[in-house]
Amino acid sequence: MHETNVAAELFEAVRSYLATSAEDIGMSTKIKELGLDSIDLLELLLRLEEKFDIELDVVAFEKCETLGQVAKYIADVK
């Protein structure tokens, strides 16, 4: 799956998880800026695994600082 397609689906999943329609969520959005705690991050990771039908490494996921890095990581795993 191409990184751009992954990014679009990732942004949709993040907006859904945060229950927001924020249009300012993008590739450069820092994960820390989303206000997620460690439990939220794990829940988001599980949702992404289900959405993309993949298994993500928690440590690798936590190393991602931006949503763009998460999109690249997911695209690489796919």
Can you give the CATH number for the domain in which 63 is found? 1.10.1200.10
Tens-digit pLDDT profile for residues 35-56:
999 999 999 999 999 999 999 9
* Catalytic (active site) residue 37: yes
Q: How many domains does the chain have?
A: 1
Are 65 and 30 spatial neighbours (Cβ–Cβ below 8 Å)? Answer: yes
Q: Domain range for residue 57?
A: 3-77
Exactly one of 24, 37, 57, 76 is catalytic; name it.
37
The pTM of the full predicted model, rounded to 2 decimals, is 0.88
Q: Report which of 35, 37, 45 is spatially closest to residue 13, judged by C-alpha positions.
A: 45
Provide the pLDDT for residue 57.
Answer: 96
pLDDT band for 70, please (50, 70, 90 cuts). Answer: very high
